[in-house]
Amino acid sequence: MMIEQGGAREGGLVWRGCTANCDAEDGATGTLADGNANSGDKLEGSDAAPDDPVHLKRRVGLFSGVALIVGTMIGSGIFVSPSGLLLHTDSVGISFIIWMACGLLSLLGALAYAELGTMNTSSGAEYAYFMDAFGGPSAFLFSWVSTLVLKPSQMAIICLSFAEYAVEPFVSECDPPDLLVKLVAVICIVMILAVNCYSVNLATNVQNIFTAAKLVAIAIIVCGGAYKLILGNTRHLQEPNFASSKATLGNIATAFYTGLWAYDGWNNLNYVTEEIKNPSKNLPMSIIIGIPLVTLCYALVNVSYLTVMSVSEMTDSEAVAVTFGNRLLGPMAWLMPLAVTISTFGSANGTLFVAGRLCFAASRQGHLLDILSYVHVRRFTPAPGLIFHSLIAVAMVLYGTINSLIGFFSFTAWIFYGGAMLALIVMRYTKPHAPRPYKVPIIIPYVVLFVSAYLVVAPIVEEPLWEYLYAGAFIIAGLLFYMPFVKWGYSLPFMDKITVFLQMALEVVPTSTTFEY
């Protein structure tokens, strides 16, 4: 029996980075093509062909879509980041404005992504959009940076936060040993990997449960804050200090980075569009429900914090939510560390869920190792991509610290967010007749593009650091691999044997398959 990769499919709307009609040398330009309408959502054309028994199933509905957005956005940021914003601005009023502006920016960006995701229903988010708008090189550079740095570092950051809060109750007399924290973080990654490799349904159920649990934790904080407001504890809210001397352009940009870290995840649903039921409806609806819900939660939580703590107390606290619990919840204060561990575990689960789909999408177009596009023959999960991301995340956990990882992640991520906005603008002109079931006003991608440019440039101007140069150099270095291995099609002689070995060991096959007996 011979198993080989398939090509374009008939029926519905199909996107492929390289078909028989495109430049096979590049794998370069994505195409949008109209086919025969399927029953139900016309955008579900990336389902399996008749001879394609192994593929990713459409199992993500509206509720799971909202849970994925909310569950990945609400991680450790809201329990830690409020002090970061106050530290950079020294102003309650300005920090609140930044919190709301971060929520608005996330919503605008996600609405623009909804247009991109309903126009091109391939998984992979920015990767698919760059391929469509700019061609192979830009899409490869995104997959290069995201696969090796962005997604694994995000996973590592969240799991390190989980480990710190999980270990803290057992070593209350001193700071937890770094080795113990990293060991727990690695165990967390392995547990989440097992869940996601075992079943898509199990992974989404875990996401739904942990999202509900973290919303309950936020409700506890909000109710505690409301109780304090009823008692008249408003003095810290009456000092907005809009004229703070620390609110420089560079500090505001840095404060935005801190706030946006708490909101990160607003684009994650676009990574799994091939698995969304009725994507033209459920993708934008999940965004419209999920992101305002998160913004409302963040606003109410920040007000609640300030009913119990002053600005200086919040900036001095390493874990604002824990301090809040110690002062207000009494013997139930242990709920706050538990809430953070639940929140970070759920966020890490969602992060790995979408990260594996990026590997899947990029390798399917020949931009990463072939094995990363394979799916388990019985469980229909992209196991190789999930394992690959987890291994890199484990390496980052063992090597790095949270602060060093956040700095690189925030700067580099907004380069690509801005690139996605540019892709939308470009395709309004280059693909004016492509189907767009959901369409945003053109001013929205322009606004997000401008803010993205500001967030990238302002910190460099305010405080030039070598790290920014290293980040840019790492992105460009991807071309050293693109030219020989993608553009010119060079393949290492031993890779076929490794692919076959891993295929047999992991029981995985390509998602587009033909069988010859």
Q: What DSSP character marks residue 174?
A: S
Q: Kindly give, in sequence order, each residue whose CB lies less than 8 Å from that of residue 32, ignoring residues fewer than 6 positions away.
A: 13, 15, 119, 120, 132, 431, 434, 435
3-state secondary structure of 6: coil
Q: What's the pLDDT at 355?
A: 85
Q: What's the pLDDT at 189?
A: 95
What pTM does this model have? 0.79
| Secondary structure (DSSP) of 313-370 | HHHH-S-HHHHHHHHHTGGGTTHHHHHHHHHHHHHHHHHHHHHHHHHHHHHHTTSS-G
Q: What's the pLDDT at 308?
A: 86
Q: What's the pLDDT at 47?
A: 42
Q: Would you say 2 and 517 are in contact if contact means Cβ atoms under 8 Å apart?
A: no
Q: What's the pLDDT at 9?
A: 33
Q: What DSSP character marks residue 38?
A: P
The token pair at 451 is: 């803010």
Q: What's the pLDDT at 329?
A: 82
Q: Would you say 49 and 10 are in contact if contact means Cβ atoms under 8 Å apart?
A: yes
Q: What percentage of the chain's residues is helix, strand, coil (to nearest 5)? A: 70, 5, 25
Q: What sign results for the dihedral spanned by CA atoms 133, 136, 137, 142?
A: positive
Q: What's the pLDDT at 240?
A: 66
> Which residue in this structure is represented by tokens 């229903």?
121
Low-confidence ranges of the chain (pLDDT < 50): 1-53, 513-517
Q: Would you say 128 and 15 are in contact if contact means Cβ atoms under 8 Å apart?
A: yes
Give the whole-angstrom CA distance, residue 320 versus residue 338.
14
Q: What's the pLDDT at 57?
A: 65
